Amino acid sequence: MTDLGRIMEKTHEWASKYANRKGFQLNPDEEMLDMVIEGLSRNKLEHGKQYCPCRLRTGDDKEDRRIICPCVYHKGEIENEGSCHCSLFFKV
Ligand code: SF4
């Protein structure tokens, strides 16, 4: 398995556990879910952290910490819009 494949497995496992713990659910559309998991994993592989694949990094480490998944925005987005910006986590 490639490095990316391995990271994707771990990321998926983490996201499932996190969703369970917080009472969210993962995107039921497996293709979309896979795209987000891949984006997070690619950022982890290339930039060292699972930065949100749907937001722009500024290059400022402190600022960019806000968009390491789970980002600081996700709870509000899930509550108000039904899902986080990337459609990774959904309201049950
Ligand atoms: S928008 Fe969703 S996928 Fe992106 S960092 Fe926030 S919680 Fe993670």
What does pTM read for this prediction?
0.96
Residue pair 91/24 in contact by the 8 Å Cβ criterion: yes
Largest CA distance in the chain: 39
Distance CA 35, CA 73 (A): 20
Does the beta carbon of 15 lie inside 6 Å of ligand 1? no
Give the model confidence (pLDDT) of 1-48 as tens digits.
899 999 999 999 999 999 999 999 999 999 999 999 999 999 999 999
Does the beta carbon of 85 lie inside 6 Å of ligand 1? yes
Q: Cα(first)–Cα(last) distance of the chain, in Å?
A: 33
pLDDT on residue 1: 83
**Domain count along the chain:** 1
Nearest-CA residue for ligand 1 atom 8 is 69
pLDDT on residue 47: 96
Does the beta carbon of 54 lie inside 6 Å of ligand 1? yes
34: CATH: 3.90.460.10
Distance CA 90, CA 92 (A): 6
Distance CA 10, CA 25 (A): 17
Does the beta carbon of 42 lie inside 6 Å of ligand 1? no
The boundaries of the domain holding residue 43 are 3-91
